Amino acid sequence: MDEALSLARKLAGTHTLSDGELLALIRGRGPETAAFLREAAAKTARSVFGREIYLRGLVEFTNFCRCDCRYCGIRRSNGSARRYRLTPEEILAACREGHALGFRTFVLQGGEDPWWTDERLCAVVSALKGEFPDSAVTLSVGERSRESYARLRAAGADRYLLRHETADPAHYAFLHPPGQTLESRLHCLRDLKELGYQVGAGMMVGSPGQTDECLAADLAFLRDFRPHMVGMGPYLSHPDTPFAGAPDGSAELTLYLLSAVRLLLPQALLPATTALGTALPDGRERGILHGANVVMPNLTPPEQREKYLLYHDKLSAGAECAAGLEELGRRLRAVGYEPVVQRGDSPLMLTGKQS
Ligand code: 5AD
């Protein structure tokens, strides 16, 4: 049996691998190992979550950003991005619509927009928690101070998504301008965990300069940090960034790694991401069949949604939007899964085993 396949078997049995084994699993990938990983990951996801798929209502509430990530379409230096910022009332209205549709988690995602001070963001979070006490609020607004994270948590925020992007410091420096460091990103992730958030990390697959060693470092980081959630999608290039013209990341490799992450972290909340849905027509379904258990339809008002362009051709219609929820349900049921009206908390939180 080839080495990668025997490592995949070991991963499925023990839910861990050493750094060197993770690298060999990535380097030695092939159709047979991929099929084994997919089946083992889907089985593991079913043993933890059954056939239930958690829904998150995504509200992309600002595309102003002070960061200049070289891969991202809403980077500060992109003068062609049409900027928008929803008002607090517009955010609440989007969530109200989502709640009526059955969403019990709202993900407020945005660029690092200085207009959104702690005071303003806390006010929105507490208004949401006041109006929808049965729902979870997830924030995804980048790097802030520990005090800021503490205030937002006290205002009621339950979860926080902050992808680590790459666990290799040199690769991080290649993807970001000098002021942005992996060290600072990891510091934020540790703060968020200590403050009691359910925390999401994650990376793009196939970003410029990424090697198999980088991906092995990502898996080792996830294995050790044990985030509650892992967001992972293919890198998709954007024409108005320094990486314009760089090839897109591989959807196949993304699926392979999704399965590996499910086996490393059986309890993790793992979305079939928008980027995966953009890269493949049936990306959402294939993500689920490779071990994902979450989908995040878009609740952003349509006029603004098309301006939140992290990469080219980003999906924003059809099953991506709330109005397409029925279609999404049909598509999930067609592959044997069922979207559910639930907060969908991390099982790690429910059993009190946070680390
Ligand atoms: N391709 C794919 N994903 C991207 N992101 C940002 N730019 C791109 C891109 N060009 C991802 C980053 C970020 C998340 C919100 O979107 O990983 O954390």
pLDDT of residue 319: 54
pLDDT of 174 above 60:
yes
Percent of the chain with pLDDT over 70: 96
The number of the ligand 1 atom at minimal distance from the alpha carbon of 161 is 18
Please state which CATH class domain 50-344 belongs to. alpha beta
DSSP state of 324: G
Confidence at residue 77, expressed as pLDDT on a 0 to 100 scale: 98
Q: Is the pLDDT of residue 24 over 70?
A: yes
Q: What is the mean pLDDT of the chain?
A: 95
- Residue 336 pLDDT greater than 50, yes or no: yes
What is the pLDDT at residue 350? Answer: 67
Q: Cα–Cα distance between 56 and 51 in angstroms, integer? A: 16
Residues with CB under 6 A from ligand 1: 71-72, 163, 165, 204, 233, 235-236, 238, 275, 310-311
303: pLDDT strictly greater than 90: no
Instruction: Give the pLDDT confidence score for residue 155 in this predicted structure.
Output: 98
What does the pLDDT look like over 243-286, one tens digit per residue? 999 999 999 999 999 999 999 999 999 999 999 999 999 999 99
Give the residue carrying structure tokens 């729902």.
135
Average pLDDT over residues 334-352: 89
Expressed in angstroms and rounded, the spacing between residue 310 Cα and the centre of ligand 1 is 6
- Using most ligand atoms within 8 A of CB, pick from 58, 67, 71, 243 the residue to mutate for ligand 1: 71
3-state SS assignment for residue 331: helix
Residue of 68, 78, 311 to mutate, ligand 1, most atoms within 8 A of C-beta: 311
**Token pair belonging to 306:** 């098309």
Q: What is the mean pLDDT of residues 63-83?
A: 98
pLDDT class for 306, splitting at 50, 70, 90?
Answer: confident
Mutate to test the pocket of ligand 1, among 140, 273, 310 (most ligand atoms within 8 A of CB): 310
Mean per-residue pLDDT for 186-207? 98
Strands (E) located in the chain = 52-55, 57-62, 105-110, 136-140, 159-161, 198-205, 229-234, 294-295, 338-340
List the structure tokens of 87: 């008002």
Q: Residue 72 Cα, ligand 1 centroid: separation in angstroms?
A: 6
* pLDDT for 301: 84
pLDDT tops 80 at residue 87: yes
Residue 188 Cα to ligand 1 midpoint, Å, equals 18
Residue 5 has a pLDDT of 98
> Could you tell me the pLDDT band of residue 355, with boundaries at 50, 70 and 90?
very low
Rounded Cα distance between 331 and 278, Å, is 16
Q: Tell how far the Cα of 10 is from the centroid of ligand 1, in angstroms.
A: 31
Phi/psi region, residue 142 (left: phi>0; alpha: psi -120 to 50; beta: rest), is left
3-state secondary structure of 121: helix
Lowest-confidence pick of 15-29, 75-89, 115-129, 320-334: 320-334
Distance (Å) from CA 14 to ligand 1 centroid: 31
Q: What is the SS3 assignment for 321?
A: strand
Give residue 171 CA to ligand 1 midpoint distance, Å. 15
Q: Supply φ then ψ for residue 52, to 5 degrees.
A: -90, 135
Q: Which pair of tokens denotes residue 165?
A: 């992007």
Give the tens place of pLDDT for each residue, 93-127: 999 999 999 999 999 999 999 999 999 999 999 99
Residue ID of nearest Cα to ligand 1 atom 7: 72
82 and 240 Cβ atoms separated by less than 8 Å = no
Of the two residues 107 and 299, the one the predictor is more confident about is: 107
Paired tokens of 268: 């993790």
- Angle (nearest 5°) at CA 138 between 162 and 206: 35
Please tell me the distance from the alpha carbon of residue 355 to that of residue 348, in angstroms, as a whole number. 8
pLDDT band at 181 (very low <50, low <70, confident <90, very high): very high
Domain ranges for the chain, please list them.
Answer: 50-344
pTM: 0.96
Across residues 62-90, what is the average pLDDT?
Answer: 97
Q: Whose CA is nearest to atom 18 of ligand 1?
A: 163
- What is residue 354's predicted lDDT score, i.e. its pLDDT? 45
